[in-house]
Structure 1
Amino acid sequence: MTAPPEAVRQGDEPRKRLHPLSPLLHGAKSIAVIVAALSWQTLSQVGLERFALVVAVLAVGVVVFSVVGWLNTGYHVVGRELRIQDGLLWRRNRAIPLDRLQAVELRRPLLARLTGLAELRLEVVGGGKTEAPLAYLTVREAAALRGRLLALAGRAPDPADPAAAEHAGPAPERPLFRVANRDLLISQSLTPQAFFLPIGVAFVVMQFILDGSWTFVGIASTVTAMAGVILQPIRRVLQDWDFRLAHDAEGRLAVHYGLLETRSQIVPLHRVQTIGVTWPLLWRVKDWLHLRLDIAGYGGPQSGDAKHSDRLLPVGDFQAARQLVFQVLPGVDLAALATVTPPPRARWKHPIGLRYLGIGLTAEVFVSRSGLLTREMTLVPYARLQSVRVLQGPVQRLLGLASVYADTAGGRSGVAEDRDLAEAWWLAEQLSIRARAARGPAPLLTSTTTAGPRDTPDAARHP
């Protein structure tokens, strides 16, 4: 009896294990979490010797658990699927169809960099979180596997010799843009956390002086609280350090960044769902903004996953943003986007910020803008629209208004907030028509009535 083709392929490429140092790296991360959870208060109560003994016992247990888990973990490519077996108490066998692959990220945390290892993270359609983290592989193995998976996801021919692919060098990249680290540092100093931190420090010091108590636990707890306040801008600096954009040999977007933990992402441009442009209040002094990408397969804002989108430009001026938007969405000029404000009666709902609300329709994208202090603009390509919703609340019904939501696959929605009711239905119809035209003859969206537009577009270089 002839074996099925899948079994033949599976026999030709046996299951591979992760790197032998993987258990130690996983154990080190778990131990750090345990030590942080025990807190300064526990140290002061049990003493240094008992604290160290508890940590040592837990560390041995964590390492043993990690080693057993490593022995039960493996992966291999079968046809156009990546198959992963893992689990200790509950064994899992996952088959990930590569035609659903959206992006592959090569990540190198600090401990992995010290040991010459890397981690692969795969994002697939409809995933609320990373589907298949492979931690850890050598850098060469991780880069080769990423290239092979992306090739299979693009329906390129499967390499005949996977072993040869593992030893192939990285494909050349064409540099596109680089963020100056000096600008990154200045931008994170212009955040509310950094701006108000000296005031908080002065307040805490005055409290200590007035109370006259300077215990070790009190000082450590105060320093920990202050670190929590400043953590977000520091994390941003560490994450976005040496931020670089490039095009790879296949025309995909290659993103590299990170100081302690380096990250390298390959994003096919046709997977981009929306582009978000944000002008923070304090950044407008330097005429700076930042750009983000919403990518299909990354967890949406409602999922609670912090990695629902990724950065296209951590900080930069308008001209740099204009060039990058044109690279990702050819034909879209950020300086030429026209928007229309809601009708004057919407001022009952927005007494101050009405003029900062607006929408626009271009040949390529749906544009929406909002925000009083922090101003935002969202660009939604018509081909990425999944649904269009017209919603009307009780106050809107009294005012004859409605809001239109242009939804994408896992990305943020473009929102036309508080439009005239007839205009809202007209806009929904237009989005439906343009989405069908952009995606081909297959039916996508429907709407019910048509009405003419109310206002003349008002072009603005900045929202």
Structure 2
Amino acid sequence: MTETDRTPLPDRPADEPPTDEPPTDEPPTDASPTAGRPTDEAAVPPRRRLHPLSPLLNGARTFVVIVGAISLSQASEFGWQRFGVMLAVISVGAVVFSLVNWANTGYHVVGRELRIHEGLFWRRTRAIPLERLQTVEVRRPLLAQLTGLAELRLEVVGGGKTEAPLAFLTVADAEALRERLVHLSGRVHDQHLFAGTDTRVTPGAEHPGTPSAVAAPTAYPRADRDLPLHAVRNADLVLSQVLTPQTFFLPLGVASVLVQFSFAGNFNLVAIFSTLAAVGGVMLAPARRVLNDWGFRLWDTPLNGEGRGLRMAYGLLETRNQTVPLHRLQAVTVTWPLFWRAKSWLRVRFSVAGVAGPGDGNEQQSDRLLPVGDPETGRRLVALAMPGLDLATVRVQPPPARVRWLHPFAWSRMGVGLNARVLTVTRGVVTRELVAVPYTRIQSVRVVQGPLQRRLRLATVHVDTAGGAGAEAPDRDIHEAWALAAALTARAHAAQAAATGS
């Protein structure tokens, strides 16, 4: 595999706040980038501590992790009396450690930075610039729900993991801090980026190789309060997980095991428990999805009175309340699983710069926009999250016919299309998928050609975003691939120039 070209885009961070305002000699205010660096120590607000029950909950969580790593066979080797003493020592140690950590942890918002101070022997202060904030999430694990507490989690640009998990706060404090952080993070962003936009599609814009002007954004009506958008029925959520390969073929697997047992005449306890464990392992993933997405609700919420975001609440054993500014979305992925097509259902996920891309491997990801829904609901939510994209009118161009030698079944589903504002890529036979990336989120465009592709005069176009998900148009004709890369680069430059007003 060789990489034949990399076309970089302007040297500008993915979420650098655009501004049309001329320089000013006025002193910085709370909305200015320098507001997070006060010159007077008296202006710095006092640090706040986490809730006093935090050491107990964190200690319990540490205790569960340690005990979970000890198997019953290892416990029996210690002897049950010694094992009980060891658990008591672990419990006390975990609580004491959490208590010391709590006593030396504090946080406060200084200007437009969230500062977290922690450490006893090695003091550490983390300053998180709020303009890099991607999402803010309030989580309530089961123990937190029982004690009336919540955990605040932040996702920032370029973060490999969740930043600043503040565990734990009261629910009221967590909600208030979330609203304040989202409010401050949005004040540096240009109004037409922060609000939704509508576009005018130019003739010929659907063809990947046809240059066309990027449509100018127009103002979209804003909400001045939370507007309910959708609530997923729990019955549909459960049925959607019944209509999965694991659940669908589970009865056949159990029946085959029972047939083998009946012919062998051996129904010992080991075989029975092994079968039950296998069934539990198969059903774990669908059951976890149901618990994670239980009671899913979505609102259109105003941010700072100038922009809009999406607020999601879901979860049964662990409730989550997440706010995602619309201008932070890097890509949207729409999926049509095979067994859902009888109900015409689809799933929608999003990607932001601070969170890994969509995927079923990590069920703890907070990337849900619609766990399951009908086409009209999906079309409405995708149009809101990705202005300029209408699922009912998406037009894509398939690859050349010689691609069928590489993908005999999937080649007709491999499409790519450009409209005035969004790149769309389709793929998949068993599970169909559509990935949409707005031009303003494109960081770079690459044309990659492997040995077999060179013989067939094909190439793959990769589109990179700050979120890491991006999109790719595989196995395009080599001339079409270069034309597509040039068109994407030109549109990305034009879209980013229009966004910054330059």
* TM norm structure 1: 0.85
The farther-off stretch of 383-392 and 329-338 is: 329-338
The 5 Å alignment of 1:57-456 reads 57-87=89-119, 90-155=122-187, 172-202=225-255, 210-214=265-269, 223-250=276-303, 251-300=308-357, 310-440=367-497
Moved more, 369-378 or 83-92: 83-92
CA gap of 1:401–1:342, structure 2 versus 1, over 3 A, is same
Distance 1:223 1:373, change over 3 A: same
Is the 2:288–2:363 Cα contact (8 Å) retained in structure 1? no
Q: Contact 1:295/1:309 (CA < 8 Å) preserved in 2?
A: no
Per the TM alignment, residue 282 of structure 1 is displaced from its structure 2 partner at its CA by: 1.2
- After TM superposition, give the deviation of residue 8 of structure 1 in Å: 3.3
Aligned-partner Cα distance in 1 for 2:257–2:74 = 23
The 3 A distance-change label for structure 1 pair 65 and 210 is farther
Aligned length: 424
Contact 1:128 1:300 survives alignment (8 Å): no
Query: 1:160 aligns to what?
Result: none
Cα distance in 2 for residues equivalent to 1:336 and 1:301? 24
Q: 1:210: Cα distance to partner?
A: 4.6
Which deviates more, 174-183 or 278-287?
278-287
Quickly say closer, same or farther: Cα 1:59–1:298, change in 2 above 3 A. same
**Matched residue SS, 1:292:** strand
Is this contact kept in 1: 2:49–2:107, CA < 8 A?
Answer: yes
State the Cα distance separating 1:275 from its structure 2 match: 0.5
Q: What code does the residue aligned with 1:382 have?
A: Y
In the aligned structure 1, how far is the partner of 2:294 from the partner of 2:79?
39
The match for 1:18 among 50, 70, 87 is: 50
2:82 pairs with 1:29: no
Greater shift after overlay, 429-438 or 304-313?
Answer: 304-313
Q: In 1, Cα distance between the equivalents of 2:363 and 2:471?
A: 20
Give distance in 2, aligned partners of 1:235 and 1:197.
Answer: 17
Structure 1 unpaired stretches of 5+: 157-170, 444-463
* Equivalent-residue separation in structure 2 for 1:324 and 1:282 (angstroms): 22
For residue 196 of structure 1, report the CA deviation from its aligned partner.
3.1
Q: Given residue 68 of structure 1, which amino acid in structure 2 is its aligned partner?
A: V
CA RMSD after TM alignment? 2.7
- Is the contact made by 1:299 and 1:305 (CA closer than 8 Å) also made in structure 2? no
Q: Tell me how far 1:151 sits from its aligned partner.
A: 1.6
CA contact (8 A) 2:418 2:424 kept: yes
Paired residues of 1:274 and 1:411 also in contact (CA < 8 A): no
Of 355-364 and 304-313, more deviation after overlay is shown by: 304-313
Q: Secondary structure at the match of 2:40?
A: helix
Deviation at 1:78?
1.4
Q: What are the Cα deviations for residues 16-57 of structure 1, in whole angstroms up to 9, with x where unaligned?
A: 111111111111112222222212333455554443333222
Distance 2:448 2:228 in 1: 44
Distance in structure 1 (CA, Å) of the matches to 2:90 and 2:172 = 33
Q: CA deviation at 1:129?
A: 1.2
Question: Between the two proteins, what is the percent identity of the paired residues?
Answer: 57
Return the alpha-carbon distance in structure 2 between the equivalents of residues 222 and 87 of structure 1: 48
The separation in 1 between residues aligned to 2:437 and 2:284, in whole angstroms, is: 32
Measured after TM superposition, the shift of residue 199 of structure 1 is 4.2
* Aligned twin of 2:197: none
- For 1:198-229, what per-residue CA distance to the aligned partner results, in whole angstroms no more than 9, with x for missing partners? 344456666598555426xx876765554332
Counterparts of 1:211 and 1:86 in 2: how far apart (Å)? 60
Partner SS, residue 248 of structure 1: strand
Give the aligned partner of residue 87 of structure 2. Answer: 55
Is 2:388–2:422's contact at 8 Å kept on the other side of the alignment?
no
Asked whether the equivalents of residues 333 and 358 of structure 2 are also in contact (C-alpha less than 8 Å), the reply is no
5+ residue gaps, structure 2, are 1-35, 189-223
Residue identity opposite 1:396 in structure 2: Q
Post-superposition shift, 1:313? 0.5
TM-score by length of structure 2 reads 0.79
